[in-house]
Structure 1
Amino acid sequence: MKRLLILLQTLSFSVLIAQPPSGIYGGGADRPAWVVIGEIGDEANEALPYVNVELIKLSDSSVLASTTTDGEGKFFLPAEEVAPSFFKATYLSFTPLIIEELNINSPFVNLGRLTMRANNDLLDEVIVEGERSTFELRADMRVFNVGNDLANTGMDALQVLENIPSLMIDQDGNVELRGSANVRILIDGKPSSLLASGTDGLRQIPANLLEKVEIITNPSARYDAEGEAGIINIVLKEEKDLGLNGSVKLQAGYPNNHGFTGVLNWNPGKLNFFSSYGFMYRKMPGERDFRQTYTASDVLDTSYSYRTQGEHFRGGLRHTARIGIEFKPIKKTTFEISAVLGLRDNSNGNTIIYTDFNEANTINTIAQSTRTEDESEEALNWDINASFEQQFGDKKEHTLSIEGRYSDSKDEEAGVFTQLYDTSISTSFNNLYQINTNTENQVDWLAQADYTLPTGSTGKLELGGKATVRILENSYDVQESPTINGIYSSIPGLKNTFGYDESVYAAYIQTNQTYGKFNFNVGLRGEETVIRGNLLNTDTFSSTTNFNRRYFQLFPSASLSCRLSDKHNIQLSYSRRLRRPSFRKLLPFSSYADARNFWRGNPDLNPAYTNSTEFTYLYRAMKTTLMVSAYYRYRTGVIQRILIGGDDGITESIPVNLATENDWGVESNVNLNFSRAFLVNMGGTFFYSNRQGSYENQDLSAKTFGFRGRVSLNLTLWKKLKIQSGINYSSPTQNPQGRSLAFSMWQAGVSIDVFKKNATLALNVNDILNTGRWRWQVETPTLITNGMFQWRQRNATITFTYRFNQQGDRRHSGRPKGGMDMDMDMEF
């Protein structure tokens, strides 16, 4: 910590000396670049007070300025920049008023007297319904507004991520960004107890509680260094409109996928109460099928091979609730406290059929057995967040924010395994009866402070500190009995209790300045990590293993942007990142669901580091938005899972610090607005990876070229009926021990607005052709594997959503809480 404080003090003094004098008009005062005024009344010519009015930028839907009308219905909107924008006014029980194509050639715009109409009247041709685009481009950030995406009807948060270009969900449920599974996932800008057990917690969040997903591929020093590939921030919905408003949603699906969600908000003025609740009952079937052949001395061992076929179902009851209050006692001071609660009561099942052969083919069957698993899981997760923000002076960016969070997670699993042999084929094998228990408790604390100081007319200095503490305990036990009603005893080596403590202390400083068409951001972050692990084996070996790690690292970041014209922008950025091994990768043993395929961790893992450089070009016109990014990543200490085949027919998967890696890629995303009724979005990543490494004298180097992408079509008919269809595709890729085969999935949905646009009825079919299967091949000196796994089969969902006091506006006009503010001085 002492090194962090010295670093922060030195950098702060250096940057403050170098900063330019404040104010360009003298006296430190800055005039607004653009002012829009007017007044609003109803059809009876009565003034409407407290109407929410906003200037919204056309390019990315960010808010330039916002306020409410006074007692006479008048408003004054000062904006710090001039940009193509539209004006929007919202008021309880009135139709939103939207005016497009404001005059940007004058620094002062008077809209005059505007009239708002009651909700039961239609808008005329001059006033159009504004709906936020599906995809937005911001500085260092891609924003996907998923709140009204038909593709996400009836889904959960993990499935929402699967429908986003550049993201992929692998067969283990890990989220991959640009081909890397090491990505930092946040909820409302913060870690969450819902993710304590990995990405499975995302299955607990109904899709319609999500407002947007923010993807940051090259984060600045302000953000945690964790996550080699970048940061994914999931922002939940929260309305800001005055009065009482909300929505309810019912869904039914096949296979079993039923639920209810509700959002309720009340904003009487200085207070904003927000709440949401989601309930899901889900049972999703899937399947697996793979063949393993054991080899010796590069020649097929004709004595042993087997095939594994299986079906599984996962799911149960899941509840997610969120409640909070935002209080503004005075104009520039904001307090907020919120809580999130998650409950999970799952019952999972597995049925696996093993067929053993005495040759490397399917001719001579020597044994066949059926292994069944019945697992129950109960989990309780909850977070409490409190924050304070103070604005100083007249500049919105002169702020101090302080935040604290406490979270608690408890997860209990119990499984019963039965493996019965077919005695008509062989009587040489004994049946297996096993039970396992796994209990995990985790507590997290977070404290953070951030200060932003405007420097000059177009710059700012940011500095802050953060501390996170995690305390975790995991207990695992597998017991076995010769008979189903016999006495069960622990299997040697499979009983342990693992304690894990992790503390991360960080400080950062960065400056952002704009000079004409150029904008630059330079920052430095220091992080000190302290890890303590304790493994206590309570089986017959009765040994104790401890490890302690402590390391301090610096993480610089820099970006340079240039606005070539109103339509063309470029940016060059750099950041250094790291990947800490998760505690699950440090666990000596983790999974026993499949008796022939073990998964365990490695307590000797070290962090992996990444240096990432990215060049981005953005073209933005009225009907077309194109983003192209070229990136290069150099990675050291890459963590890779490898398969080891034993002579007993058991395959073990362990993570190791395998290699160095060079990654090159080109990512693109284009929005084509052919008309107000027809939108096409295409996104994808071409990548090349060169990995160099070895393990136990085995060369595991691999080179691969691949592509991942998504195409989505959106069609609106008669202003009420919406049709959407999307296709995901991932090409084959090489890895150190084999290759992953191609993956594709097709989805389509339709929705219609009813009850004067206060309600929506929607139907969505996911994986229409039932092709969403992961397939892979593995080849080592002792093992050949061909495998297939499917998390869930084709499914269909129908939903009904009713909105009250939202003026038929299907997008949420208020800024969702938890969104991650980026450096927006240069609109990119």
Structure 2
Amino acid sequence: MEKLKTKNFLLVLFVCIFSLTAFAQNSKKSTLTGTVIEASTNQPLEFASIFAQNEQNKNIISGGMTNEKGKFSFDVPSGNYYLKIEFLGFKTIELHNVQVQKDTNIGIQKVHDDTQMLEGVVIVAEKSEVDIKLDKKIYSIGQDMLVKGGTAGDVLDNVPSISVDSEGAVSLRGNENVKVLIDGKPTGLASNIAEAMRILSAESIDKVEVITNPSARYEAEGGAGIINIVLNKGKAAGINGNITATAGVPKNYELSGNFNLRSENFNFYTTLGYRDGKTEGYSRNNNQYFDQAGNTTQFIDEYKDNQRYRQGYNALFGLDYYITPSFTWSNSVNARRNTSDAPNTVSYQYYNSDREFIYDRNRFESRNSSRNSVEYTTSFEKKFKKPDHILTIEGTISQDKSTDDAHINDVNNHLNTSSYEKNNSKDDYLEGLIKVDYTLPIGESGHFEAGYFGNFKKTNNAYDFYNQLNNQWINNPNISNTLEYKENVNALYAQYGNKITERINYMVGLRWEDSNIDVNQLRSNDYNNKKYNDFFPSAFINYEITKSSSLSVSYSKRIMRPRGRFLNPFSNYTSNINYFQGNPNLDPAKTSAFDLGFTQRWTGLTLSASAYFNQTDDTFEFVRQIAGTTDDGTPITVSSPINLSTEYRYGLDLTANYTPFKWWRINGNFNFYRTETRGDYTFTDLNGDNHTQNFDNNTFAWFTRISSKITLPYKIDWTMNGMYRAPYNKAQGKVIGNLSANLALSKDILKDKATVSFNVSDIFNSRKREMETNLAQSFSHSEMQWRGRQINLSFTYRFNQNKNDRQKGKRPNTSNGDSSEMEMM
């Protein structure tokens, strides 16, 4: 391997040194072109290296690299050439005596998978899990053993630049103002992404697309960008599929399968899944309280044993009907059902000002919830005679119904008393979506796009809280309410892209969105209507420095509308002294985003760097405050979102894919950023007193992730990754740093038709959110771990399907919203 490494280094060195000499020796040049494809799939091979050396004059060396269509083109002096085509994981093609006296096309060259034995190590060609582009990262999870038997949260937490905290909150580059789509659409499940992270299984996901600075074609929603979760849909020719069974500790049983039948006239696909599992976690709040003079009055330590038993079913059925070679009608139905039981215990220990134990109290909660959702999508795609001239019309309707019921027994061991509470929550969600996208090539390189987007949703959440008095349940009107949320968004967009020179291209776009939103608290007759519209421009320019390196600059304007738990003032009361409360008066936050990106590709190494700056007005900030006391005088701490005036965020995002040897791949990501927030907040507590706090804060933060995959002897794949989130300060305290790691082993069996995998999620049982909060009336140290260490064993069997299937015969996916968009970056 060292010889191979030295050889590659010298090859690159010779190309750099002698290319200029060669061109200087012969002024007559011809263009050498060709196409490189994979022999097994007939798919174009991007970034393959082509080496050209003159057979008579060894000093004349040139070369190039294939583009996304597998094509290459570079100039050479006239002569007789030796050509070599290389791509990691495929056998090298060598061509001798290629005569180049004029512009020459060597035609289509097919490369074959390279499977060989080297020093006892089995080497199998395999596509990288992370595809880096300047504008987005595409993460394919099909072969990621780390997430087998896991959830969507596990998948996203392995994607460059993304992190998922212990409560399921998703952030991109450290910013939670991110829009999460499922199959390119804001479905009902995507509106409650924290819950979606727990419901969606990893096996149901094909890939994740991360778009850090979207163009006008995309929704303007999402100040930090867009994350698109693409579900599995079969597209390979013939009859094929796979089935996966998983067993884990703590209890985690899962069975899922994908089936695909494709012919010339239609493509039928289905995904079915069942999951029965248990999650174990905890939360802790250690609180110290002060009087107005700053003297300690008492301590209260709160600990919650967080257990949840879940059962879930999901089914996806889809049919693509190719009415004519240029006209496709697609339909899909996606249904899910999930139930859960959560027997939780919250323990409180009370201490006096000298931290001497006084008494304890326990709240025993029995919580049951269910969620049923169904979604139907139909779309039409018309391709015209001119390539890339396409019209797509898509419609979606989805419904989501959920219930959440809890019974609580509060036992005070000091007073030897018990009290009983219960709460019932019912949520009904209905959404309709219409999309029209039209793309038109203009001239040799021009590209025009225009379209319409309509999103119409309605949510009704009824929440009732009861106290038991004299063996009767009495509704508490101060806590009970019905929240109605309506959102109607109509949007139009247009954008145009073209080339200025062969190496410089650009795209400019403009999107207009009109929003009509109602946030109504029906029982208190509090009605709030918000109407606003705005233009959202975007601009991109890309400079191709060489065939393997690019530089880009982009700008877009974004918006983040509050919804869901951000707006609902009524939450569960598992703890009655620490809880979250939504704010129905939240306004949308608007962001101006600037991005400077650079990508460099070498054989075996891809580096992507991005410097970014975001300015967000009316940014969302989570504040904690003492909002009153319980009947026994215990302070109540409430966490709520507010609109703060302005946030400035700028940082550097680095991602690298490195393959030092065919048997070893390394992916790494590093994100460093600084946030500056400005603003004051005034609130009124439950006692009617006003409080004002300044939220001016400057802080640095960073996180890094590295993943390593090694092919061991006996066809065993070993994968391990680690992530570190550095500590950072907040206006009301600080977040403690956190280190976590995952491990997986897998082996192909049954002549590579099946795979056995073993993984450990959170090896050190350390993935949690830990923070300190400083208020005038209290200091608290809190920890939250939604799920502890998980160990899974999975078995996957494939029929008529290769492990590294690259979806032969794949048609453009119109649902993702970017299939025909000009690839600017």
Match for residue 105 of structure 2?
A: 108
- Alpha carbons of structure 1 residues 310 and 80: separation in structure 2 relative to 1, 3 Å: closer
Aligned AA (1:191) = P
Gaps of 5+ in 1: 1-31, 41-50, 61-76, 89-96, 538-542
Match for residue 25 of structure 1?
A: none
Whole-Å separation in 2 of the counterparts to 1:570 and 1:633: 19
Compare 552-561 and 171-180 and name the one that shifted more.
171-180
Whole-Å separation in 2 of the counterparts to 1:231 and 1:254: 34
Whole-Å separation in 1 of the counterparts to 2:384 and 2:188: 33
Judge conservation of contact 1:87–1:98 (CA < 8 Å) in 2: no
Aligned with residue 467 of structure 2, among 476, 480, 504: 480
Matched residues, percent identical? 28
Match for residue 746 of structure 2?
A: 751
- Alpha carbons of structure 1 residues 83 and 264: separation in structure 2 relative to 1, 3 Å: farther
Aligned with residue 453 of structure 2, among 466, 481, 486: 466
- Alpha carbons of structure 1 residues 454 and 87: separation in structure 2 relative to 1, 3 Å: farther
Whole-Å separation in 2 of the counterparts to 1:344 and 1:311: 22
Judge conservation of contact 1:295–1:781 (CA < 8 Å) in 2: yes
Determine if the alignment matches structure 1 residue 643 to structure 2 residue 624.
yes
Judge conservation of contact 1:36–1:78 (CA < 8 Å) in 2: no
Judge conservation of contact 1:139–1:824 (CA < 8 Å) in 2: no
Whole-Å separation in 2 of the counterparts to 1:115 and 1:643: 60
Aligned with residue 807 of structure 1, among 799, 802, 816: 802
Whole-Å separation in 1 of the counterparts to 2:38 and 2:374: 45
Whole-Å separation in 2 of the counterparts to 1:384 and 1:102: 51
Spell out, residue by residue over 1:739-770, the C-alpha distance to the aligned partner (whole angstroms, 9 max, x if none): 11001111111000011111000000111111
- Alpha carbons of structure 1 residues 731 and 823: separation in structure 2 relative to 1, 3 Å: farther
Q: What is the correspondence of 1:500-539 to structure 2 with a 5 Å cutoff? A: 500-514=485-499, 515-537=501-523
- Alpha carbons of structure 1 residues 394 and 307: separation in structure 2 relative to 1, 3 Å: same
Q: What is the correspondence of 1:172-321 to structure 2 with a 5 Å cutoff? A: 172-297=167-292, 299-302=294-297, 304-321=298-315
TM-score by length of 1: 0.85
Determine if the alignment matches structure 1 residue 403 to structure 2 residue 384.
no
Aligned with residue 72 of structure 2, among 59, 82, 85: 82
Q: Quote how far apart the aligned CAs of 1:457 are.
A: 0.8
Aligned with residue 451 of structure 1, among 438, 451, 459: 438
Aligned AA (2:537) = P
Whole-Å separation in 2 of the counterparts to 1:116 and 1:519: 34
Compare 758-767 and 601-610 and name the one that shifted more.
601-610
Spell out, residue by residue over 1:500-535, the C-alpha distance to the aligned partner (whole angstroms, 9 max, x if none): 111000000101112310011100101000011221
Spell out, residue by residue over 1:301-355, the C-alpha distance to the aligned partner (whole angstroms, 9 max, x if none): 42x3211012111231011111100111211111100011110011112211011
Aligned with residue 735 of structure 1, among 711, 730, 735: 730
Spell out, residue by residue over 1:44-95, the C-alpha distance to the aligned partner (whole angstroms, 9 max, x if none): xxxxxxx9522231379xxxxxxxxxxxxxxxx995953799999xxxxxxx
Q: Quote how far apart the aligned CAs of 1:149 are.
A: 0.9
Whole-Å separation in 2 of the counterparts to 1:809 and 1:79: 20
- Alpha carbons of structure 1 residues 129 and 249: separation in structure 2 relative to 1, 3 Å: same
Judge conservation of contact 1:55–1:87 (CA < 8 Å) in 2: no
1:650 match: secondary structure: strand
Q: What is the correspondence of 1:269-418 to structure 2 with a 5 Å cutoff? A: 269-297=264-292, 299-302=294-297, 304-359=298-353, 361-363=354-356, 365-395=357-387, 397-418=388-409
Q: What is the correspondence of 1:337-736 to structure 2 with a 5 Å cutoff? A: 337-359=331-353, 361-363=354-356, 365-395=357-387, 397-422=388-413, 426-427=414-415, 430-482=417-469, 486-514=471-499, 515-537=501-523, 543-648=524-629, 649-696=635-682, 697-718=692-713, 720-736=715-731
CA RMSD of aligned residues (A): 3.0
Q: Quote how far apart the aligned CAs of 1:242 are.
A: 1.7
2:45 match: secondary structure: strand
Judge conservation of contact 1:706–1:733 (CA < 8 Å) in 2: yes
Match for residue 54 of structure 1?
A: 43
Whole-Å separation in 2 of the counterparts to 1:767 and 1:285: 13
Q: Quote how far apart the aligned CAs of 1:110 are.
A: 4.2
- Alpha carbons of structure 1 residues 178 and 107: separation in structure 2 relative to 1, 3 Å: farther
- Alpha carbons of structure 1 residues 501 and 296: separation in structure 2 relative to 1, 3 Å: same
Count of aligned pairs: 743
Q: Quote how far apart the aligned CAs of 1:138 are.
A: 2.4
Aligned AA (1:161) = L
Whole-Å separation in 2 of the counterparts to 1:712 and 1:115: 28
Compare 289-298 and 729-738 and name the one that shifted more.
289-298
Compare 239-248 and 132-141 and name the one that shifted more.
132-141
2:765 match: secondary structure: coil
Whole-Å separation in 2 of the counterparts to 1:660 and 1:146: 37
Aligned AA (1:633) = N
1:821 match: secondary structure: coil
Spell out, residue by residue over 1:459-489, the C-alpha distance to the aligned partner (whole angstroms, 9 max, x if none): 2010101111001110000101147xx1111
Whole-Å separation in 2 of the counterparts to 1:300 and 1:345: 47
- Alpha carbons of structure 1 residues 544 and 620: separation in structure 2 relative to 1, 3 Å: same
Spell out, residue by residue over 1:365-407, the C-alpha distance to the aligned partner (whole angstroms, 9 max, x if none): 3331111111111110111000111111131x11100000000
Judge conservation of contact 2:37–2:45 (CA < 8 Å) in 1: no
Whole-Å separation in 1 of the counterparts to 2:761 and 2:84: 36
Judge conservation of contact 1:529–1:550 (CA < 8 Å) in 2: yes
Judge conservation of contact 2:284–2:303 (CA < 8 Å) in 1: yes
- Alpha carbons of structure 1 residues 705 and 298: separation in structure 2 relative to 1, 3 Å: farther
Compare 235-244 and 195-204 and name the one that shifted more.
195-204
Q: What is the correspondence of 1:121-200 to structure 2 with a 5 Å cutoff? A: 130-200=125-195
